[in-house]
Each structure stands twice: as structure tokens, then as C-alpha cells.
Structure 1
């Protein structure tokens, strides 16, 4: 596992700050130790420095990955967050969207969220802001990007898309064959 280049580190932190803002620092310096990001086969992994030191005893051919996969870089050097990062990003999310129970399944099938499916939304969220999508029971369901700001949502038509789907916990089932 290698360190991320300066360019890819910048891309990663910009993507994370889109969802959690300045809380990126809390991902690295945690109470249970220091964590870091490493790259292996264009995937970004979030791993404890203690575990990373233990993994140096093995060659790269002997293990598939170390840590939690946060995302993958495309050939055009864009980062797509994987759903495995949700449990780490959700507690620090600045902007949140809650989906009505009747629309949870539609979101988990990969559909965008219309205003009619919107339960609640964090105040003062700007357009194209990264959000964490929750059920009304505060269970994180996935990632999204706001199609409209919070103030625009109030006066929008019920069928207007409010949040674009990025990824969700239903991807494990839908993309089971292509993940490995």
C-alpha cells in the first residue's frame, strides 16, 4: 500500500470536505489512535497506523486490502466514494436529508429523491452540496448531492428532484458481482 500522491490527497480531502466540512481532521486524529489514507490499485483505504505497521510484514501480493475502502479513483482521476465509507462519514456530516418511509426503498434502488419523498432537510444547505441521506429513524442510507438549495426546496413542485442519488446501502446487492 502506498501513500497517496499530493494531487490525489487533495482530491480526496476536497471530496470528503464536500460531505463533512472541516471534520476531516477528526477522521485522522481519533481517540482510538491516528488513522491515515493509503492507496492500493486505485482504491483509497482508511486504516489505523498501528494496523498499517503490522501489514508492512507482508508483500503486496499476499493481501487484498488493509483497512476500509473509502472510494476508487477513475481513469480520469475522479474519486467516487464507496458505501463502505458511510459509517465513518455519517457521524460527521454537516448536511443531512431524511427520506420518508414510503420512499426509502426507492432510494435504495438507486432513484433520486423528489420533494414528495423528502422528510426533512438540514437548514442552509446550498445547491450541489454533498449530503448524507437518512431514514426517518436516523439510519444512514447513503450519499447524495442536493439538486436544489434548502430555500428552493420549500417552493419546489412535489415531483421536482431535490437530491441526486450518489450511492446507497443497497449497492451491496445490486453490484455484488462487480465488486470483487
Structure 2
């Protein structure tokens, strides 16, 4: 476990700002204490500083994980946000998409969102902007990237893709099948 390098921090914060903008500082300096991001086995972990200090006392081989996994770095140096970060990012999301109940299941199976399944979208969402996907009951379901801006969504065909799928809460069920 170690702090992120300057290049890793830059890549990681660029990815986070794609979804929550300037609200990144709210993740670090929270009312319940100071939090930090650490790198361990290609993954970025988010935890309270006191927990991180306790985890530092363990050897690299003995430590499996601590805190919450926010995502992982690929071998090419790109950062992929993991669905476990959803609960922390959803309250700070600048751009949101709400799905109709008929489209929820297809999104949770890992498919893109079509315009016919779109319930609402945050005004002034730009094309290729990171969005948090909710159901109509305001429960966060996952992440996506807007394939079209808000204005383009209004004028598009019902079968056009409006949000590209990135991660969703159904991922746990799909991955569990592979592990057994």
C-alpha cells in the first residue's frame, strides 16, 4: 500500500471529476473525519485516515484490502471506476439520468440505455459527460457516459443509444457466476 504517484493522482482525479466535478474535495475532507486514497495491487482504495494508519502496520503480502475500492488502473495506465464507488459518488453527481422501470433490468444486465428507456436527464448534460444512472425512485444503479447531449436526446429516435454503460450494481451477480 502506498500513496498515489503524481501521474496516478492526475489520472484518477480526472476520472472522478468527469462524474462529480469540483466535489472531489468533499470526499477527502468530510464532517466525520479526514479520508484518503491509497494504491494497493493496481487498485485505488478509499478509507478513513485512521484505518489507513492501522493498515500500514501490515505487510504488503498479508494485506488483502482495506476501505472501499474506487477502481483499478489498467496495464496501459488508464483508470476504470468500479461500482463500489457508486455510494460515495452518487450524492455529489453533477449530471444524472433516470430510467423508466422497463429499462432498469436491461441496464442492470450491462446494456446501454436507449432513448425509449430514458425517464429524465439533467438539463445541460453535454455529450460524453459522465453521468450517474438512477431509477425513478432515486436509487443509484450505476455509471454511464452520455452518448448524446440533452438537446440531442430530445430530437433523437427512440432506438438510439443515449447513455453508454460503464458499471452497474448488477455486476456483482454477473461476476459471481464466473467465480463459481
TM-score normalised by L of structure 1: 0.97
1:1-180 residue pairs with structure 2 within 5 A?
1-176=1-176
Matches of 1:161 and 1:48, distance apart in 2: 39
Flag structure 2 segments of 5+ consecutive residues without an equivalent.
none
* 1:55 Cα offset (Å): 1.5
1:114-150 per-residue CA deviation (whole Å, 9 max, x = no partner) reads 1000000000010000000000000000000000000
1:83-126 per-residue CA deviation (whole Å, 9 max, x = no partner) reads 00000000000000000001100000001001000000000010
How many residue pairs are counted as aligned between the two chains?
A: 180
Matches of 2:109 and 2:158, distance apart in 1: 20
4+ residue runs of structure 1 moved beyond 6 angstroms?
A: none
Matches of 1:128 and 1:57, distance apart in 2: 42
- State the SS of the aligned residue for 1:3: coil
From the superposition, tell whether residues 122 and 169 of structure 1 become closer, same or farther in structure 2 (CA, over 3 Å). same
- State the SS of the aligned residue for 1:163: strand
Taking only aligned residues, the RMSD between alpha carbons, in angstroms, comes to 1.3
Flag structure 1 segments of 5+ consecutive residues without an equivalent.
none
TM-score normalised by L of structure 2: 0.97
Matches of 2:138 and 2:28, distance apart in 1: 25
* 1:176 Cα offset (Å): 2.1
